[in-house]
Amino acid sequence: MSASAKGERLDRVLAQHRLGTRSEVTKFIRQGRVKVDEVLVTDPSIRIGSAARVTVDDFLLEAPPVLVAWHKPMGVICTVDDPWGRKDLGTEVTEWLRRGLHPVGRLDADTSGLLLFSASGDLTQRLLHPKRRIEKQYRATLEGPLTPKAGLALTRQLEAGVETSLGVFRASGVKVNIEPPTVELVVTEGKNRMVRRMLANSGHPAASLMRLRFGNIMLGDLEEGECRPIPDDELAQLQGLTHRAHEEE
């Protein structure tokens, strides 16, 4: 049986599948209606891994994907519940939250693009740990016109390091376009509004900002507001990135 000290409680897993409240699912677990990997389980508190095969009355529960990519629109707050009634994760990605996934970090309300949702706390921790240095790629549309000379200076400054109130941050893979004035860059840290601070302190504030990539996971042609589960091959590659980064420490 795929029990795991790091997994989720069985009663919580069933509640996330909307099979009832925690008290209701606890009752039918104790009634002997639930099996985990073909073994009858009557303890609601047992923890199971994400690969566990769970059946209720011999009906198999569909396991949620380990990782989901979402194209976050601008204006959405990256909290589960916003007290001022603004659009948030609780209103925009309700299904994945109910199935036990959680956001991997956040994007500011005025930033759009790729936001990952994970069913694995361990994976999320590895993706967000600063020592793992997982790449994040962004594209910014800049305020005002940009000359070739200014574009070259911006490239050099971003690569050399930009001083902000949170520290000095560097970018790699910088690509500047003059018309329209845009810049793509890759960072490996995730401090609050870091990319916007870097651009503003370089003299070229961002009018808009979009995340294009997290590790090897690309936003691609995913439509705004749409989600896609990450297939096993992409997930394995992403997990490999976190392990390699750990080995290189």
Q: What is the pLDDT of residue 61?
A: 83
The reply to whether 108 belongs to the active site is: yes
Q: What's the N-to-C CA distance of the chain in angstroms?
A: 35
What is the spatial distance between Cα 212 and Cα 46, in angstroms, rounded to a whole number? 39
Question: Averaged over 122-149, what is the pLDDT?
Answer: 94
Q: What is the pLDDT of residue 53?
A: 87
Query: What are the extents of the domains in the chain?
Result: 3-60, 67-131+217-247, 135-214
Architecture of the 67-131+217-247 domain: 2-Layer Sandwich (3.30)
Task: Spell out the residues 6+ positions from residue 92 whose beta carbon is closer than 8 angstroms to its own.
Answer: 72, 73, 76, 225
Q: What is the pLDDT of residue 247?
A: 53
Fold match between domain 67-131+217-247 and domain 135-214: yes
Measuring CA to CA, how many Å separate 241 from each of 172, 216, 237? 17, 8, 6
Residue 14: HSE in the Cβ half-sphere, 13 Å Cα cutoff: 31
52 vs 110, higher pLDDT: 110
Give the 3-state secondary structure of residue 132: helix
Q: What is the pLDDT of residue 3?
A: 52
The domain 135-214 is classified under which CATH number: 3.30.70.1560, 3.40.190.10, 3.40.718.10, 3.40.50.360? 3.30.70.1560
Topology adopted by domain 3-60: 3.10.290
Confidence of residue 246 (pLDDT cuts 50, 70, 90): low
The CA angle 52-37-28, to the nearest 5 degrees, is 90
Least reliable range by pLDDT among 51-55, 143-147, 207-211: 51-55
Task: Spell out the residues 6+ positions from residue 119 whose beta carbon is closer than 8 angstroms to its own.
Answer: 50, 64, 65, 66, 67, 99, 100, 101, 102
- Look over the chain and give the mean of its residue pLDDT values, rounded to a whole number: 90
Measuring CA to CA, how many Å separate 45 from each of 10, 37, 63, 185, 237? 6, 16, 19, 46, 33
Q: What is the pLDDT of residue 67?
A: 95
Q: What is the pLDDT of residue 181?
A: 97
Is the pLDDT reported for residue 2 higher than 60? no
Is the pLDDT reported for residue 193 higher than 70? yes
Scan for tokens 């005025």, then name that residue. 110
Active-site annotation holder among 37, 108, 110, 221: 108
Is the pLDDT reported for residue 170 higher than 80? yes
Q: What is the pLDDT of residue 245?
A: 53
Question: Averaged over 57-66, what is the pLDDT?
Answer: 84
